[in-house]
Structure 1
């Protein structure tokens, strides 16, 4: 396996940085400014924001969602078409599907393209990202174990991680087809193959491994303008602890080092427990199912948003059987619709935010593929 010294990259102090300015700006927008490492606070004046929920290894549904969002070409060339749009993906790219690394590679490729147009792509990590870095592979699809083996083989031809990782999306399907052609019918029950799969995935996703370090580029909380984006849900005690501090600690843990070069402990407040940032379902489940009256949950949401100077919070994590929706005086938007074939295989939906007004974009129920726009809620 090629060696990429990713975990030697420093976690720098929180200094605002400007992303690349558009090469042909048509609206005269100010450049996007990012604070935090990994990104925590984003100033994106005048930008259209689109948010995509849980993808769970389904590259086909991921592309559908990105096309609905207006940021991905429909010609199969995986080109950014969003201009100065800011795209936020809410985590749980891993598990339940077989194209996890391909989706991560696609998002990284789109970010590079977006920055040259004055846009940007951001991600936050979900509970399935943190589970895999912990070595919890209970929900890994068999095809994803195979993807890990293919990806390690592919890396042998590269010395530069950036080039290798961004390029994976263009060859992943070919590797998958070659594997299927050569796979023995006894493969799933082959003990040696199973051991090879576990070793391959562990080497990629263990703290300090190349995929864990790739995930470490992203936090668990992101504030873009007046909106908070996270996988499970932000609570007052998270804010009191410090959201930039949480992002930094999760990133250091994934990279396998901290500021003192010691092996970091798992950041419990962000990644473990029912009320952690990536596991919390207080806002995304019906109030009757979480044992709290709706007025109380609404009060908690209001207090949290006020403490970070935000107008709304966008969440994934809990599939919404009736589609993306808003709750608690339009403060909370839940956009995980279980679109992956490994979850509910529902139609793709995304959230669009323009001038602090949010609406849901989805394909129609008929076979025409026409875009539906839900009224502002």
Structure 2
């Protein structure tokens, strides 16, 4: 009898210890769904489902299939079209279907649109699902992520401020719920140190500004969860990925060192000042040295030097600068530019995705633009959009998506 009582007491004790964790997880799921309409997969790898605890990995091996997706700028519909076009999500369930493919999104998820938080949550869930399938979704920091963490909101839209205000209301409610449960550490006030009023800003936007600062400041809850694992530069197989451009001084400084210092800053450990390589026209997230659409304006000699100093690198893939003629390559396809301005708030272009199979020179553009079925596939001159050497594939599925979402 004593043994049964002891066993029952032990079981009850373990259950009580588990209750705070279960309550906390339930509240987090409740807040996630209430703010964005998304749930996250169960039994995810704790290393990927929790905020990262170390700087992101700079180098990754070459995958069987590699995809590059340009700037998204808060447009959920266009993002879903691009992801569906690439074949890595199911358009109905919004689940990862890419298997062991690796997709790289080159930053600028924030600003100019109204679906920023929905995009951050969706990309995060796809990362978890990709990891479980043996693939990966890797996201870079763009200049707009850097600006927002640095409290520069000049490109934010009123609807995006409202989205953050709604998130903050649910997040605070979740914290209040957690504070009622004994055993859960009392959550910090996310608005600590943030003023209620902002001179020069219309009063109707003050709550949204407070919420955005609270969410996105260094080590803020959204920054920590969705942005802190984003490197500024990434090497996958023989391809370098960077939002703006990688210059000789960046390589000399060290790619790992850049990512480590970005990690320190975005997690609130590097002080308020931005690292030097994130500011100015030659910053890794701002440079346009290799992004001019005309090849004669691209600094091919500097690009060759940069690639030569990174073992195994054959090409640099960049976002940041809208390419009116679509994804293209110059300097013998050593510079690939993938920002097609797909967001309705920034160009309203048709989605395109770059595809690389293995360490191949056979680069291919997955496009939903029917014009390219006639002209682009057989481009012969450099005036025809600088597309020489890039194969094209027009996706019928992509065209159907456009018709559905028109």
Tell me the TM-score normalized by structure 1: 0.75
1:42 matched to which residue of 2? 60
Q: How does 1:55-134 map to 2 (within 5 A)?
A: 55-75=72-92, 77-134=93-150
Cα offset for 1:373? 9.2
2:290 matched to which residue of 1? 283
Match for residue 335 of structure 1 among 335, 338, 360? 338
Q: 1:49-102 CA distances to partner (integer Å, 9 max, x unpaired)?
A: 011000000000000000011101111x21101011001000000000011111
Which secondary structure does the structure 2 equivalent of 1:308 belong to? coil
Match for residue 365 of structure 1 among 345, 361, 370? 370
Cα offset for 1:191? 4.2
Match for residue 300 of structure 1 among 299, 302, 312? 302
Structure 2 regions of 5+ residues with no counterpart?
1-23, 29-43, 46-53, 176-200, 379-388, 391-406
Q: 1:244-279 CA distances to partner (integer Å, 9 max, x unpaired)?
A: 111111121111114xxxx3631011x111111000
**Bigger Rg, which one:** 2
2:329 matched to which residue of 1? 326
Instruction: Please give the alpha-carbon distance, in whole angstroms, between the structure 2 residues aligned to 1:157 and 1:61.
Output: 32
Which secondary structure does the structure 1 equivalent of 2:299 belong to? helix
CA RMSD in angstroms comes to 2.6
Cα offset for 1:157? 5.4
Cα offset for 1:37? 2.0
Cα offset for 1:105? 0.9
Instruction: Please give the alpha-carbon distance, in whole angstroms, between the structure 2 residues aligned to 1:37 and 1:255.
Output: 10
Cα offset for 1:158? 4.5
Instruction: Please give the alpha-carbon distance, in whole angstroms, between the structure 2 residues aligned to 1:152 and 1:275.
Output: 35
Instruction: Please give the alpha-carbon distance, in whole angstroms, between the structure 2 residues aligned to 1:144 and 1:238.
Output: 33
Tell me the TM-score normalized by structure 2: 0.70
Q: Verify: 1:220 aligned to 2:236, yes or no.
A: no
Instruction: Please give the alpha-carbon distance, in whole angstroms, between the structure 1 residues aligned to 2:223 and 2:125.
Output: 18
Match for residue 163 of structure 2 among 147, 152, 160? 147
Q: Verify: 1:194 aligned to 2:205, yes or no.
A: yes
Q: Verify: 1:204 aligned to 2:215, yes or no.
A: yes
CA contact (8 A) 2:216 2:222 kept: yes
Number of matched pairs? 302
Q: 1:141-169 CA distances to partner (integer Å, 9 max, x unpaired)?
A: 1111011011112324546xxxxxxxxxx
Instruction: Please give the alpha-carbon distance, in whole angstroms, between the structure 1 residues aligned to 2:355 and 2:151.
Output: 35
